[in-house]
Amino acid sequence: MMAAFIFVVSLATLLMFFVSYCRSLMASSLRHTLSKEVRDVTGIPASASGRDFAKIMQLLQLCPERPDDRTDLHSVEIYYGILGLLEKTIARFMPALHLWTEQERAGCANFAAVILDRRIAFSREILAQQGEF
């Protein structure tokens, strides 16, 4: 019984740290202004909404990966999935929780859009370097 209690507390603590980590990643992306190219390609006016996440993730698969953003993007993608599950279950009955999950999902989409912006810039750098040879 004690082992089960320790396991549950450990999982809850791990989840709290994971949520904090993902929220800090998303907060760092809020300072970034999306380029005109990303806004044109995605159709996002100024900031992304939660519904834009899947479209942005599809566009990210078309760009060459940068090694330093792979882990962060995967973490935020998992967090987005957890928020989707939360929204489909508990948040249906709690309007305040529904609003919070929508804001968090919009933050996930904005983070993915910033990564897309970085990957487009990275692709341009690669093309510029190849043009020099």
**Residue 15 CA, distance from chain mean position:** 17
pLDDT of the residue at 131: 67
Looking at this protein, which amino acid is placed at residue 39? R
Q: What is the mean pLDDT of residues 79-94?
A: 88
Whether the predicted pLDDT of 76 surpasses 80: yes
Interval 15-53: pLDDT, tens: 999 999 999 999 988 888 777 877 777 777 766 777 888
* Residue range 70-86: mean pLDDT, rounded: 91
Q: Specify whether the CB–CB gap between 46 and 36 falls below 8 A.
A: no
DSSP 15-81: HHHHHHHHHHHHHHHTTPPPPHHHHHHH--SSS--GGGHHHHHHHHHHSPPPGGGHHHHHHHHHHHH
* DSSP code for 96: H
**What is the maximum alpha-carbon separation in the chain?**
67
pLDDT per position as a tens digit, 101-128: 999 998 999 899 889 888 888 878 877 8
Q: How many residues does the chain have?
A: 133
Choice among 2-6, 41-45, 87-91 with the minimum mean pLDDT: 41-45
Q: Return all residues near 122 (Cβ < 8 A) that are at least 6 apart.
A: 63, 64, 66
Q: What type of residue is 80?
A: Y
Region of poorest pLDDT, from 53-57, 64-68, 102-106: 64-68
Structure tokens at 64: 């060459």
